[in-house]
Structure formats: C-alpha cells, structure tokens
Structure 1
Amino acid sequence: MLDAPSLWDLIELRADADPGRELLVDSGGSRLTNGGFRDAALRTAAGLHALGVRPGTVVSWQLPTWTAGYVLMAALCRLGAVQNPIIPIYRDREVGFIVRQIAPELVITPSEFGGFDFAAMIARLTGGTSTRHVAADRTLPEGDPATLPAYRAPGERELRWYFYSSGTTADPKGARHTDTAILAAARGMHTCLALTADDINGMAFPLTHIAGPIWLGASLMAGASNVLLDRFDPGAAVELFGREKVTLGGSGTPFHLAYLKAQREFARTRPGERAFPTFRLCNGGGAPRPATLHAQIRDEVGGLGVIAGWGLTEAPILTMSTVHDPQTALDDSEGRPMPGVELRVVTLDGRTAKPGEEGELRARAPQLMLGYVDAALDGEAFDEEGYFRTGDLGTVDEDGFVRITGRLKDIIIRKGENISAKEIEDLLFTHPHVADVAVIGLPDPERGERVCAVVVGAEGAAPLQFLEMVEFLRREGLMTQKLPEQLELLDLLPRNPTGKVIKRDLVGRFKD
C-alpha cells in the first residue's frame, strides 16, 4: 500500500485486499466499505465520463464533508481529470477568482447547503462562459463502469490537482499538485501517527482542503476508517465520535479547544468519565496553539495529547510530531521533518541559521507543489537553490524539532484558515469614513488569532462604527470567516521611515 504510484491505485489495492472493511461514515448516515467506495467511484466516473470528463479535464467542486465528496474525488482520480476541490466556506470573491483563473469545464456543488444557494452563486460567476454546473445533493452522476476507458496512472510530476488558499495576498493563490505530493504526505502521516486498521479518524474539517486527499491516502495505507462531520458542532461530535468509537480527534487547534470544552462540560455531570473515551490522540495543525494545549488534552480529554504538524497548501505536512516524541517536544514543537523533507533556516540578513536561531523556514520536499497556477508568482516563491520560501519564521533545534515563531507574510490564521490582511484593508480603504487602515491578527485563545481593524477616520466624517463596518464588508462580498471581530480607532497609524505600518506596535497595543 505504501508504494502505490497513485491515489486511484491505492483505492484499488485496498478494495481488493479488504473489501468489507468500513472506510467512510458521515453525519448524514451514509456508510461505505472499501469495496463499496471503489465501486461507487467507478459508477460516478462513468457518469462523469458521459458528461465529457476526460484525462486532463479541469473540474472544480465544492462539496461539504460527505462520503459523496470522497466518492467524487476518487472518480476524478480514476478519470485522470485535473480536479480543483474548493473549501465550502468560499463565496463569490474566492470562487469567482478561481473559476476565472482556471476556467473549469465543470463545477460541481450542492444546490443549497447551510442556508446558502450554491447554484445561484455558480450561475452568477459562470454566466456567458462555457463552464457547466452540476448539482450534487449527496448524489452524483452515475453510469455503467464498463463504458470507462482503461486506467492510466499519472507520471510522477503530472498535474492532477489545483488547491487554493486565501494565501498572503488579496487574491487566492492556486498551487499545482501531483498525486506524488499527496501520497508523500500521506506516507509520512501514516508513520508519524502510527496508524493501524484499528484507527477511526474523526474528520471535522473540509475534505476539500489539501489534507482531505492526504487523509484518504493515509487511511487506505493503514486500512483505517473515517467518520465525517459536515458542520462542526461539539455536541454533535461528542455523540457521533462516541458512537463510532473514534480514536483520532482531528484536526486542529479550534477543534481541540472545542473537545477540551466539551470534556469539561461533560465532567460536570459525569465526573471521572471521558466525553471521547476512545481517543488515542488528537492530530492536527494549521493554526497557532496555546503552549498548554497538549498537556490539557492529554490530561483531560485523554490519550497521548496533541500530535501536531506544520505545512502549507503549497507543501503540506512538512513536519510532524510522532507518538514516540518526548513530552517536552510535544508541548511546543511541530515535530521533525517528514521523510524526504529538506529544511533550511535563513536569517533575515541572509545567513544560514545556527541550531535554535530564528529565521525563515525554507523547504525542498516530495510533497512540494509543482508551482503556482500563476507562474509569475514562482520567481519570488523559490530561492536560487530551489527551496520554497514558506514565509514562516521558526527555529530548528539540535535534535531537529521545529518551532514556529512568527510569519514574514502578513496573514492572520483564524481557526486554521488563512486570512489576508491586505484583502480586508483594500476593501475598508474604499469606505468613505476611512482615511487609513491596518488589519492585524491578535492572539485569541479560542480562534488562534482574531481579526482586528485599526482605522483612522476621514476628516470631517463621523467615526466608523463596528456594525457599519461589518455590514459594509458583507455587501462587498467578504466571507463571514474573514470579517473583523474588533475595531479600534486611532488618529494616526505608526509607520516606519519607508511608510510601512508598524503592525507589531498595533498588536502590542491592542492584544489585551
């Protein structure tokens, strides 16, 4: 299983080896075994083939964390399409940018989900183009698998995926990825978490995130199962994860904090008992975490605590802790580099950092993207030796443990989602009551960071009000997860001699 050359090959291998083993359960009641998953994917592949999907066809899709989402993912792998999973919370601004940039032949979404009309959004965004929309409300197009052409495994560097994140600029950045990259990260995670066929992963994050296919790959390698929540609610997680005997509590700091809160509430009425009695560990990454979280999860929720990792959409899971690491490393590090990952730390003055010295983390790795969809971004993304400039500041100690200390890039990580400060600033600059603005991330124990807008009012205008700001940004199309949670008014923003806002001064002033 570990040597499978593609994700579809891995699906076939696991289905042949263990067809009756359950692979997927979702909160809507759908259940699929390894064999059932492969067969459903073949039927959907045939249905999509009848719609014109061929090797290289670009297909964007935006489904919640349903078994149908994984079936669609697998079907597109079988067809050799270039697929573009889109996170469900993305709205007109992000989805519009994506479909304009990659011009997919098909876009597959629910008709409606969570009170939002996806079909209407896609109609707005693709009107006048050749892009077709297919509605998938827990069901997918199907056909006769006998009509499918023979499968051809992709080459090692053959494009198969487009993944977009909000990134560090106003526009999303699209990373071009291969099955090779996905499987390299999956193999590393399989090893670090010591996954076995007894494991059941609780997946509460969007399977359209790059970690979605990575988790599928790691699960198939181990013969493990997955329990999917399409919308995270701690109460629903306690009930579903308990009933399904989940052993792995993913998938990042916001979820771990919610599990901790649920455990404390549970203990009030049932002292001495666990809300998640079968948790072996809590795996995750993607957001800053309080220094005490690992020990709190270990001592209160149960299991080994938080087994954390670090990576980016461009290079997922570059480092990860393991179940064998010392407690001191689990407390505050993101583990060591995955197999095949080369890390270098470069100080701000361009030197190679010494062990424990802070600098920008740069990486060469088998899970590294081919490059950006916008190739013009590649020049600044890679250094002269081919290392990817992550934009994250950190240290690597003498034992190889990586600790993230900050970011060169001006992003705010709220509940694991990257939020561009510039995108919000650009919108607020257009408000008639705003003369100057800086958007900063402030430490927050529940969210990792919260979004704060610091505004200088326009001369003669009434001071900007919080609700007025929020409604303005909503009208401009900013998605809910990016809306500032705090507004501060100043007479003047602190700037350095070159005119750049000194954001660290603002963070220091308003963090409390």
Structure 2
Amino acid sequence: MMNLAAALQRNASCKPDKVALICGDTQMTYAQFDAMAGKIASGLIDNGIQPGDRVALSCPNLPFFPLVYYGIQKAGAVVVPLNVLLREREIKYHLEDSDAKFFFCFEGNSALPMAKEGIAAFNQVDHCEKMIVMTADQGQLSFDGQPTLTAFLQECVALEDYVIRQADDTAVILYTSGTTGLPKGAELTQSNMMSNAFIAENLMAGNGGDVHLVTLPLFHSFGQTVHMNAGILIGATLVMVPRFEAADVLQLIEKHNVSIFAGVPTMYIGLNHCQSDSDVSSLRLAISGGASLPTEVIHTFESKFDVPILEGYGLSETSPIACFNHLDAERIPGSVGQPVQGVEIQLMDLQGNKAKQGDTGEVVIRGHNVMKGYLNRPDATEASIVNGWFYTGDIGKFDEEGNLFIVDRVKDLIIRGGFNVYPREIEEVFMTHPDVAMVAVIGIPSEEYGEEIKAYVVLKEGSVIEADALHEWGKVQFAAFKYPRSVEIRQQLPMSATGKILKKDLKAEMTPATA
C-alpha cells in the first residue's frame, strides 16, 4: 500500500513550519502545502472523483502545480500533466485520450492564453465533467464562465488522510512527445514514481536541508521526479521558476542558497554564456538530463562555477531515471554512467540479439522503473516491452567498466551512401568551435546518397563567422562521408517547453543539401 502523498503528509507532521515552496515573494510551509492539497483532494472527492479516475493538470512552475498534483494523489486519482504549450486541438486530444474527468488549468497570459485554449477544448469533450481555472487573483471566483480554484475550495474541508493505493495502481500518465504518430500516455505506477524518487535522492545524497531550484517544467518526468517528488520525499525546499533566464537563475541561487540545480543542455549553454557576478557557492551539485550534454559544455560549466555535473539518462516510460553518474564513482564525461540500483540495461542488435562488448546496439531496460504500459494501446505496449525489457529507440554502447554512452536516437541515425553517421558525434565536435553556441545536425533527402548531412548552427554573441567557413572547418574535422555538406546559421533553434532542440521541426522543412 502506498501513495506519493504520504511523504508530504509526513513532512507536514514532522516539520510543519519548514518552508516547502518558494516562488517570487510567495512562501508556503509544509503544513500549509499539505492542508491546501488536502482541500483540493476533498473537493475532488465531493465532486464524485473515484480512485483511479484521471485528472488533467496544465500549469507552469508555480505553487499551483505541486498543490494540485498532490491533491490529486491524496484523492487517489491519477495525474495527467499536460505540456503548457499545447493548443486547443492538442488539449482536446489529451483530455479525450486520457478520459480525464476533471481539468485544472492555469489562466496563462496574453502571449499564452492557456485557460482560453483549455476552455475551448473542455467544451468539446463530453466525459470531462468539470474545469477549474487557477488564477493569480485569489479573489476571482470565475474565469470566462468556469469556476476558479478559489471558488472550488470555498466549502472544502481538508482531507485528513490520503486515499490508500496499491503499488501497481497508476499514479501518473505522462504523454510522450509524439515524434512518431500521436502522443501516447505512459502509465506510471505508484511504485514506479516512489522508487524513482528514492533513487534520485540517493544519487544526489540529498537531505532535508537541500534547496532545489526548479526550472525544469514539472509537467515533464525529469523535473517531476528529480526535483518535486524527490525533494518533497525528504522535506527539502523547492524554489520554483516559471521561465528559465540564465541571469535570473544565478541570482536566485545566491538569494536562496540553492544547493541543487537540474537542467537540460540548452540551460547549461545559457549559464555558460551568462555574464553575472552572482555568488553561487551554495550550489553543491548540478544534474543534466533530457538530451545528451556535449562534453565541451560540461568542461566550461565546471570550470566556470566549480560545481560537478552528473549526467543521467532515462525516458518518460522509465519514470524517468534508468542510468546515472554516481557521486562515489569516477565520472566519465560523455557517459551517462551506470544503471541505477534495481535496473538492468542491455544493448540489442538489429537481429534482436545481445550486442557484443564494444558494439553499439539499441538500449533496452528492465526494472522497477519501467511503466505499466501505454494507456489503451496494447499493441504499442507489446511492441515496446518484450519479455519485460523496454526498447528505448536509443543507440548506446558500453565501455569495459560498464559506463553507458548514448550514441544517438535510432530515428536520428543518418545513413549516407551506406555509411552510418551519428549526429551527436558531429554536434560534439562543432561545440568545440570557439564561435558556436549551439548546433543541431540532421539528415536531409539526397538523390545521390539517400541522405545528406546538414548542420544548423547558432553563433555565440558577437561572432561573425560565415556558414562557408564553418563548412570548410568541418571538412578538416571529419572523414569525407561524415562532414556536413550544408551549414546554416540561425538566430535560434526550435525548442520544446523542456528545452530540447526539436529536430523533427528542422526535418519537416526538408531543406535540400548543397554541393
């Protein structure tokens, strides 16, 4: 028997006055956090929500997110976090696919009118019974005809205890990015989420005195587990940041004596290029995940801030942590470390056999972290989980000491004239160029070679190098079949809300190769 909300309830009892959440000038103790989550749980139950019912949540990194998330857990329901950038059509799909009975949505702003998009979608979905709008104005009782959280909680009395769930009951449904077809909902159990939170805290050598800077979107598995669930598990403080700005992040680290920061590679690139005199000496650990971190970025960050970066690896379907660099082991730059406790990782060749030592292969994972399956998609579940092994779609290799290196995504592999080319290798080298701030390499159609290699480059501020010069530089760095025949300089690259470079958007442009 378990429930993610047990940790929150325990901390509210043991350390009621400890600050749990900070966002701007707002602070909330564990006692206040638990009481508010209890009122939300009570409101859900009073409105007919049963254990196992799905409740959608769309909110940036504001206190509303953990309050509602843990309120849903206390009620025994299932959280369906939605990407805050989704538009009406996409929200409608997620509400329908998850069979959500309730929908909590933040109001947004003029640039991103989340609630208006959400209301339009909600009105098209028959089974979604109620929508609650979370507004910055705590006195507001309605928003475009929908009740606000303030109105919803007016008559609620906090639930005294959480609803007991079983280890294999679904706790969260995380939707994949949908790089192939429509997004699929990965069902993660109470055991999946609890075990991964414990693993994260153990890897970070966490303690209740830690202060986490939460700039990773909490609707994503990375921030949800490594920051929110892991931090709340031991009673740490969460400093919530709705939008990543490098200078602001460094100031917040100093202001709140932040000890743990986690980010994706684009965030570390931003911090490396930021000119700031903020004192970040309180920071003891930085964590990277979500995408491969170029070794040049690691070296620059650690040299500039004197803080170690531990790189990890996982997917939404693995809760997410599967592999990690450990504090008590030698850290190999470029490696995502070793499988975490209770998790096995193997590499499989194209014929479905275990890859030989030193060879690359598809990364497959087995352990307590692997999802129950894809919601209402038995065929997709059967295709991705074979004999208990989850097939990730990533290409990896092990060194002799058992350190895993992610070479690339299977879908990102470029086959040029019969030769395999891994974009990450090219990106790693281009990141060493003194004028390059960011790069994405993709394969584009070529009549002669099947695929050709193209690099999209963002320059460092003040750099004036031309694309032709980078093209010629690449010729010197790589074998003839590897170097990018086309280099395009851009002001920015398309990114997801989690800070990942969206190569699928670049591929969709289908730009032809140059000579």
The TM-score range, normalised by the shorter chain, is 0.7 to 0.9
Q: Which amino acid is 1:350 matched to?
A: G
The one-letter amino acid of 1:6's match is N
Runs (5+) with no aligned partner, structure 1? 413-439, 457-472, 474-479, 491-505
Q: CA deviation at 1:340?
A: 0.7
SS at match of 2:170: coil
- Tell me, yes or no, if structure 1 residue 20 matches structure 2 residue 17: yes
- SS of structure 2 residue aligned to 1:409: helix
Structure-2 residue corresponding to 1:497: none
- 1:274-313: per-residue Cα shift (whole Å, max 9, x none)? 5523221211201121122222221112222x11110001
Structure 1 residue corresponding to 2:52, chosen from 27, 50, 56: 56
Query: How big is the shift at 1:125?
Result: 2.2
Q: In the TM superposition, what are the counterparts of 1:68-87 in structure 2 within 5 Å?
A: 68-87=64-83
Distance across 2 between alignment mates of 1:411 and 1:50? 52
Partner of 1:278, secondary structure, is coil
1:51, 1:36 → 2: CA distance?
23
**Farther off after superposition, 307-316 or 390-399:** 390-399
> Are 1:6 and 2:3 matched, yes or no?
yes
Which residue, out of 188, 199, 214, partners 1:177?
188
Which residue of 2 is the match for residue 311 of structure 1?
314
> For the structure 1 residues 483 and 343, does the alpha-carbon distance in structure 2 shift closer, same or farther, using more than 3 Å as the test?
closer
Cα deviations by residue, 1:345-377 (Å, 9 ceiling, x for unpaired) = 112233312333211110111111100012221
**Shift in Å, 1:119:** 2.6
Is the alpha carbon distance of 1:396 and 1:77 closer, same or farther for their aligned partners in structure 2, counting shifts above 3 Å?
Answer: same
Pairing 1:235–2:247 present: yes
Partner of residue 465, structure 2:
none
Normalized against structure 2, the TM-score is what? 0.76
Greater relative contact order (Cα < 8 A, sep 6+)? 1
State the AA in 2 paired with 1:341.
V
Percent identity of paired positions between Structure 1 and Structure 2: 22
Task: For 1:37 and 1:401, locate their aligned partners in 2 and report how far apart those are by CA, in whole Å.
Answer: 40
Q: Which residue of 1 aligns with 2:219?
A: 208
Aligned with 1:196: secondary structure? coil
Three-state SS of the structure 2 residue aligned to 1:166 is: coil
1:106 partner amino acid: F
* Contact 1:455 1:487 (8 Å CA) reproduced: no
The one of 130, 133, 147 aligned to 1:135 = 133
State the partner residue of 2:305: 301
The 1-side partners of 2:7 and 2:385 are apart by 31
Does 2:207 align with 1:196?
A: yes
On the 8 A contact 2:39/2:157 being kept in 1, the answer is no
Q: Output aligned runs, 1:66-145, within 5 Å.
A: 66-113=62-109, 115-130=111-126, 131=128, 132-138=130-136, 140=149, 141-142=152-153
Q: Distance in 2 between matches of 1:455 and 1:225?
A: 52
**Correspondence 1:257 to 2:269:** yes
Alignment match of 2:364 (pick from 348, 362, 365): 362
Cα–Cα, structure 1 residues 487 and 335, in superposed 2: closer, same or farther, change >3 Å? same
Verify the 8 A CA contact 1:50 1:143 in the aligned structure 2.
Answer: no
Give, in angstroms, the shift of residue 237 of structure 1: 1.3
Superposition map of 1:336-485 within 5 A: 336-373=338-375, 374-383=377-386, 385-410=387-412, 443=427, 445=431, 449=440, 483-484=505-506
Say if 1:392 and 1:408, in contact at 8 Å, map to a contact too.
yes
Q: What residue ranges of structure 2 are gaps of 5+ in the alignment?
A: 139-148, 415-422, 432-436, 448-493, 495-500
Residue 290 and residue 150 in structure 1: after superposition, are their counterparts in 2 closer, same or farther (change >3 A)?
closer
| Deviation of the 1:57 alpha carbon | 2.1
Distance in 2 between the 1:300 and 1:64 partners?
30
Preserved CA contact (<8 Å) 2:261 2:286? yes
Partners of 2:120 and 2:445 lie apart in 1 by 33
Looking at structure 2, the residues matched to 165 and 21 of structure 1 have their Cα atoms a distance apart, in angstroms, of 35
Q: After TM superposition, give the deviation of residue 453 of structure 1 in Å.
A: 7.2
Kept in 1, the 8 Å contact 2:363–2:396? The answer is yes
C-alpha contact 2:96 2:125 (8 A) present in aligned 1: no
Go from structure 1 to structure 2 and tell me whether the alpha carbon gap of 1:324 and 1:93 turns closer, same or farther (over 3 Å shift).
farther
Q: Is the 8 A contact 1:455 1:488 kept in 2?
A: no
Give me the TM-score of the superposition, normalised by structure 1: 0.77
Residue from 157, 166, 170 that aligns with 1:159: 170
Deviation (angstroms), 1:488: 6.2
- State the alpha-carbon separation in 2 of the partners of residues 107 and 248 from structure 1: 32
Deviation at 1:196, TM superposition (A): 1.7
Shift of 1:240: 2.0
Q: Report the AA paired with residue 335 of structure 1.
A: G
For the Cα contact (< 8 Å) 1:253–1:448, is it kept in 2?
A: no
Partner of 2:143: none
Instruction: For residue 151 of structure 1, report the CA deviation from its aligned partner.
Output: 3.3
**Counterparts of 1:152 and 1:127 in 2: how far apart (Å)?**
30
Q: Provide the secondary structure at the position in 2 that maps to 1:80.
A: coil
Cα separation, 2, equivalents of 1:357 and 1:34: 49
Tell me how far 1:489 sits from its aligned partner: 4.1
Displacement after TM superposition at 1:250 (Å): 1.4
Instruction: Tell me the SS of whatever aligns to 1:116.
Output: coil
Counterparts of 1:256 and 1:370 in 2: how far apart (Å)? 33
CA distance in 2, matches of 1:52, 1:451: 49
Structure 2 CA distance, aligned partners of 1:342 and 1:43? Answer: 40
Cα distance in 1 for partners of 2:507, 2:399 equals 36
The alignment of Structure 1 onto Structure 2 pairs a total of residues equal to 429
Post-superposition offset of 1:483: 4.6
Kept in 1, the 8 Å contact 2:6–2:162? The answer is: no
* Matched ranges for 1:259-338 at <5 A: 259-262=271-274, 265-266=275-276, 275-304=279-308, 306-315=309-318, 316-327=320-331, 329=332, 331-338=333-340
1:77-132 per-residue CA deviation (whole Å, 9 max, x = no partner) reads: 00011110112122234323212212211221122336222233223323343323
1:373-424 C-alpha deviation (Å, 9 max, x unpaired) = 12221121022x2201011110123322111011113599xxxxxxxxxxxx
Shift of 1:206: 1.0
Structure 1 residues 156-195: Cα deviation after superposition (integer angstroms, max 9, x where no partner): 1112211012133131121011121111111111111111
Distance 2:42 2:96 in 1: 27
